[in-house]
């Protein structure tokens, strides 16, 4: 799978997750359920990042100077040449 195919697949997956979360509001799910879903997804995302770092020898420095989402996005796009 190419880098662009992977990015497209991950984007599609997160869009589906977002749609499912949006639909869940109409079903009166508790905030706990939503927080649990987001936390669980973040946990597995961390696992994916860990495996990528191990396989490629690349270290992503996401929070070296605190979490700045705009800077993080720019760095990822620069490093991946998106």
Please give the model's pTM, rounded to 2 decimal places: 0.55
Among 4-8, 26-30, 76-80, the range with the most confident prediction by mean pLDDT is 4-8
Count of CB atoms within 10 A of residue 31's CB?
7
The domain segmentation of the chain, as residue ranges, is 3-80
Inter-residue contact 52 to 45 (CB < 8 Å): no
61 vs 41: CA distance, rounded Å: 20
Residue 69: pLDDT over 80: no
């Amino acid at each position: 799978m190419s880098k662009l195919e992977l990015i497209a697949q991950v984007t599609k997956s997160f869009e589906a997750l977002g749609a499912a979360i949006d639909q869940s509001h109409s079903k009166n799910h508790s905030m706990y359920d939503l927080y649990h879903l987001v936390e669980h997804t973040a946990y597995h995302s961390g696992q994916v990042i860990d495996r990528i770092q191990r396989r490629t020898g690349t270290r992503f420095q996401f929070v070296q100077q605190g979490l700045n989402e705009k800077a993080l996005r720019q760095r990822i796009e620069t490093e991946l040449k998106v």
